[in-house]
């Protein structure tokens, strides 16, 4: 199904924090479009599916994450018009460093010196309004003020926001991958909206399981805004695909998950150089040893 037509299914459930984190990570096996929302003290898990998910399996996953206890969840069918209206309703432009991120429904009132990024998220995560995406943009801006990477990978590109930002600054081709084919379509469409379609090379891949990585790597900058579990598991692969002296920016982890993720990368001789904590989430900038 195209990412820009047809129907989608929205799942949501409210759980204690630890259970919500475990469920979100488990749901990534079913869909790449997963979100966590802090409702204080409980957390809301949301996920979006292209085809109807198995409700019995979702119930089992909730029980497994929640210590055997069931929890009531909702499943809503959204047609594309409903989804676009929901994703854009009340979505205000956001300024992050030199970037102004906004939907296509906004067209005026931006300073001429800003890099405007038009994002219509659809089923793909990443509008700049979530703490993880905003902090990633901040970390990217800081890095690009100090370096001009020649070979950039956006791993788990979602809406394509980070890849588009890098393309606008660097004016060179950016490799962008996602496990979800819908996200790849959304990223390609957003690249077109931003006039950088020739600079974006989006494709579908799970982790680093695609010949394009070997053909195009190693990379001197890798962006990965996913979740703590996948970031931890991918540490050895990221080391293999990162140039000596290269930088990786990691996001999508809660503040208290940062130590576990950092430990996984220190083992790979990839060490932190900067950290941003924003809205309960952590973004890490790390550097691989030069030799």
In a domain, 117, yes or no: no
Supply the DSSP symbol for 170.
Answer: H
Cis peptide before 41 (omega within 30 of 0): yes
Whole-number CA gyration radius for the chain: 18
Interatomic CA distance for residues 4 and 132, integer angstroms: 24
Q: Residues 141, 271: one domain? A: yes
Query: What's this model's pTM, rounded to 2 decimal places?
Result: 0.73
| Total domains present in the chain | 2
Q: Residues 149, 221: one domain? A: yes
Q: Residues 276, 177: one domain? A: yes
For residue 277, give the nearest of 291, 257, 260, 247 by alpha carbon. 257
Q: Residues 148, 284: one domain? A: yes
In a domain, 68, yes or no: yes
pLDDT one-digit tens code per residue, 193-240? 899 999 999 999 989 999 999 999 899 999 999 888 889 999 999 999
Q: Residues 143, 274: one domain? A: yes
pLDDT one-digit tens code per residue, 137-171? 889 999 999 999 999 999 999 889 999 999 999 99
Domain that holds residue 19: 7-86
In a domain, 28, yes or no: yes
């Amino acid at each position: 199904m195209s990412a820009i037509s047809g129907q989608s299914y929205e799942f949501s459930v409210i759980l204690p924090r630890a259970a919500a984190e475990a469920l979100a990570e488990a749901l990534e096996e079913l869909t790449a479009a997963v979100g966590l929302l802090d409702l204080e003290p409980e957390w809301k898990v949301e996920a979006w599916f292209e085809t109807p998910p198995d409700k019995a399996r979702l119930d089992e996953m909730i029980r497994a994450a929640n210590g055997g206890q069931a929890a009531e969840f909702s499943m809503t069918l959204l047609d594309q018009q409903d989804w676009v209206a929901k994703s854009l309703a009340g979505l205000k432009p956001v300024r992050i460093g030199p970037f102004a991120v906004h939907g296509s429904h906004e067209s005026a009132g931006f300073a001429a010196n800003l890099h405007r990024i038009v994002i219509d998220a659809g089923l793909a995560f990443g509008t700049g309004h979530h703490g993880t995406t905003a902090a990633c943009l901040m970390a990217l801006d800081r890095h690009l003020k100090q370096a001009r990477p020649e070979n950039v990978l956006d791993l788990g590109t979602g809406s394509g926001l980070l890849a588009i930002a890098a393309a606008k600054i660097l004016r060179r081709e950016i490799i962008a991958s996602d496990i979800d084919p819908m996200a790849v379509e959304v990223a390609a469409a957003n690249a077109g909206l931003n006039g950088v379609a020739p600079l974006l090379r989006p494709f579908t891949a799970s982790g680093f399981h695609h010949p394009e990585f070997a053909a195009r790597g190693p990379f001197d900058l890798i962006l990965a805004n996913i979740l703590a579990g996948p970031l931890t598991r991918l540490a050895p692969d990221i080391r293999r695909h990162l140039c000596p002296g290269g930088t990786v920016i990691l996001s999508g982890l809660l503040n208290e998950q940062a130590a576990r993720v950092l430990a996984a990368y220190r083992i790979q001789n990839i060490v932190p150089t900067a950290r941003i904590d924003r809205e309960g989430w952590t973004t890490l900038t790390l550097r691989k040893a030069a030799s």
